[in-house]
Chains A and B, each alone.
Chain A
Amino acid sequence: QKEVEQNSGPLSVPEGAIASLNCTYSDRVSQSFFWYRQYSGKSPELIMSIYSNGDKEDGRFTAQLNKASQYVSLLIRDSQPSDSATYLCAVNIRGKGSQGNLIFGKGTKLSVKP
């Protein structure tokens, strides 16, 4: 079983809609979860972090974490064409010998149509 899984997409949504991006992870003791956005040809940039169960909101972005289900999601409200990018889920995998081992999913490509 892959450690961090995401649907590769592409996920296509119309402008103004809610985009929902999902991620599952295999390590039950993971404590830290992140969403990175990567535009084509650019480097990943951190947009959200979440550490406890529930929702965390930041502007148009909401991260949701359910540790019992080993599931983390990112909602983008009022999607804009500028949100079109690949979204990477990253999870801190404990038991891999070091605290800094972030495991990335392969990303979901989001396309927001005007």
Chain B
Amino acid sequence: DAGVIQSPRHEVTEMGQEVTLRCKPISGHDYLFWYRQTMMRGLELLIYFNNNVPIDDSGMPEDRFSAKMPNASFSTLKIQPSEPRDSAVYFCASSLFINTQYFGPGTRLTVL
């Protein structure tokens, strides 16, 4: 079975530009999570969905960040406008049971 798929794997953009990260969860999984990882802050949960509905977005840093899950097989995380401090690796994870999370390969975002 295919694991969690994320695209793009690398993204380099300039400050002020819009960035869209994409995620396809494992088929049949009903939870989807977006994380951000930096050296300074470690792995932080941004938002998670259950059955396509956002459950907890308290980790979203500010209004520049938004996430959607229009269907069970696709989710996006959008940053608009992007800033250099948004540079990080963004992971998507999915699970069937709430705690057994499987991570995608991540998107390494660099904002210049």
Contact = CB atoms under 8 A, between A and B. Distances in A.
Most buried by A among B58, B101, B105: B101
A17 to B, nearest CB: 27
Interface stretch (B40-48, B69-77, B79-87): B40-48
State the majority secondary structure of interface residues on B: strand
Contact of B105 (A34, A43, A100, A103): A43
At the interface, is chain A mostly helix, strand, loop or mixed? loop
A44 B101 CA distance: 9
Interface residues of B, number: 21
A106 B37 CA distance: 10
Interface in A59-113: 88, 92, 96-107
Nearest to B44: A104
Contact of B100 (A46, A98, A106): A46
Interface of A: 32, 34, 42-46, 49, 88, 92, 96-107
